[in-house]
């Protein structure tokens, strides 16, 4: 979906992307910027200098600096606390990012000024904003030729869950009620609920919802969202996956990918828990022992969670068991810095993914056809893990949500890795994941359902 496409002559439409300044949210809207800009539509990506730098530095699968009509706007905000993540906190939610989220309100005025400036030379200004950034774009209704569209960085199943819970209705999978769902108040800390509550009065207008998704993956829940009117709009566009579905030719050397080149097909499990989760030393020890005893090849990304400013402060280096790296030499590697996740998942040697089940990671794993051993940590992740296991049937769950406060033992890690990588059940999950990947790739090619839905959205905003 990144090729250049024709649009109506001289639409004079400008698109402004307003992401939440957290990696999983920044990354998805950057990928969407690439897609929309391929239709010769100028896209303006706004953020702080720090987070624009972070976004460009961590882009994978393409180079944002090579897209001529993608423009980055940097707006400074007042300094905020940059606390380190606490690996021993009672919750895995990244509370160290909350000062940054609250400071984002200072983007409101410069973004409004940008929108007014663009409105003078554009027939229409389209604002695509993160669902957690309503308060930053609340001035859009005051600009006559501006429209705002809400981007949901989660699965449609998650949106359906919230809508049904608030309506007091059961959650259905293929028409049957689903049991053992996580309580809604267990997903987010009270501080985030307060952050969201601050924005309620800013929800003045929403022309439609956008999803990094496609109907091949979640058609039933996208349809239910519309049929049951579970959101504040009747317009829903599933125009993903946003990430490249074809892994580009490698241009620069990378130790992970070169190591994978030496391994058999589907023989390596990739272990990564995203950018918002820090593991305690005890958790790290149990994972290390479990991976070692599993006998499977692995790449383990062992990084501390992001701070609000990833360029300030020295990241903690989690302790691994003494002699571990020597014992697993040739069979496993540990990555302490940024890893090219999309390229690793897309490598033929990667046959499994132990993941926190953030939606970014889920959609990339689905795109590349890699089954998931889900280990949800917070927020929408427990719901995504249910989607992966019970709806799509392309994975398993390492640790059930009701046991989230317990340390996962090495035996559990070992068993999950073996089941995913070296069992008939794991092989079946891998086959289903490969079939779903093919269907998703077909959907984004010309004539496919997601491609057609994207064209409808582009026609809508350029009308």
Which residues form the catalytic set? Answer: 25, 130
HEC per residue, the chain: CCCCCCCCCCCCEEEEEECCCCHHHHHHHHHHHHHHHCCCCCEEEEECHHHHHHHHHCCCCCCHHHCCCEEEEECCCCCCCCCCCCCCCCCCCCHHHHHHHHHHHHHHHHHHHHHHHHHHHCCEEEEEEECCCHHHHCCHHHCCCEEEEEEECCCHHHHHHHHHHHCCCCCEECCEECCCCCCHHHCCCHHHHHHHHCCHHHCCCCCCEEECCCHHHHHHHHHHHHHCCCCCCCCEEECCCCCCCCCCCCCCCCHHHHHHCCCCCCCEEEEECCCCCCCCHHHHHHHHHHHHHHCCEEEEECCCCCCCCCCCCCCCCCCCCCCHHHHCCCCEEEECCCCCHHHHHCCCCEEEEEECCCHHHHHHHHHHCCCEEECCCCCCHHHHHHHHHHHCCCEEECCCHHHCCCCCCHHHHHHHHHHHHCCHHHHHHHHHHHHHHHHHHHHCCCCCHHHHHHHHHHHHHCC
């Amino acid at each position: 979906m990144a090729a250049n496409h024709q649009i109506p002559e001289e639409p004079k439409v400008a698109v402004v992307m307003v992401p939440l300044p957290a990696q999983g949210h920044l990354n998805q809207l950057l990928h969407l910027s690439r897609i929309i800009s391929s239709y010769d539509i100028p896209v303006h990506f706004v953020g702080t200098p720090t987070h624009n730098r972070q976004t460009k530095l961590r882009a994978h699968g393409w180079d944002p600096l090579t897209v001529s009509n993608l423009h980055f706007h940097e707006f400074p905000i007042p300094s905020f606390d940059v606390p380190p993540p606490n690996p021993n906190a009672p919750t895995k939610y990244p509370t160290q990012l909350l000062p940054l989220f609250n400071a984002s309100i200072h983007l409101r005025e410069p973004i409004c000024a940008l929108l007014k400036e663009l409105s003078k030379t554009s027939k229409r200004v389209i604002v695509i904003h993160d669902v957690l950034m309503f308060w930053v774009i609340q001035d859009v209704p005051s600009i006559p030729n501006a429209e705002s569209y809400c981007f949901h960085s989660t699965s449609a199943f998650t949106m359906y869950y919230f809508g049904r819970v608030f309506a007091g209705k059961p959650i259905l999978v293929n028409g049957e009620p689903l049991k053992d769902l996580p309580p809604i108040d267990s997903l987010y800390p009270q501080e985030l609920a307060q952050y969201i509550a601050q924005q309620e009065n800013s929800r003045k207008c929403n022309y439609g919802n956008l999803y990094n998704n496609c109907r091949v993956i979640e058609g039933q829940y996208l349809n239910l969202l519309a049929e049951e009117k579970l959101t504040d709009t009747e317009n829903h566009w599933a125009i993903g996956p946003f990430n490249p579905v074809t892994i580009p030719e490698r241009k620069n050397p990378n130790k992970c990918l070169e190591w994978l080149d030496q391994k058999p097909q589907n023989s390596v499990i990739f272990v990564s828990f995203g950018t918002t989760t820090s593991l305690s030393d005890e958790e790290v020890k149990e994972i290390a022992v479990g991976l070692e005893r599993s006998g499977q090849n692995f790449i383990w990304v062992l990084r501390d969670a992001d701070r609000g400013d990833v360029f300030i402060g020295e990241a903690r280096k989690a302790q691994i068991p003494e002699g571990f790296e020597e014992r697993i030499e040739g069979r496993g590697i540990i990555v302490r810095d940024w890893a090219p996740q999309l390229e690793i998942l897309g490598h033929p040697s990667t046959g499994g993914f132990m993941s926190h089940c953030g939606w970014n990671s889920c959609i990339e794993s689905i795109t590349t056809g890699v089954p998931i051993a889900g280990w949800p940590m917070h927020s929408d992740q427990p719901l995504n893990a249910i989607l992966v296991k019970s709806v799509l049937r392309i994975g398993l769950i390492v640790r059930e949500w009701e046991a989230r406060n317990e340390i996962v033992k090495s035996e559990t890690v070992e068993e999950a890795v073996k089941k995913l990588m070296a069992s008939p059940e794991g092989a079946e999950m891998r086959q289903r994941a490969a079939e779903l990947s093919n269907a998703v790739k077909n959907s984004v090619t010309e004539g496919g359902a997601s491609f057609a839905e994207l064209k409808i959205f582009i026609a809508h905003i350029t009308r």
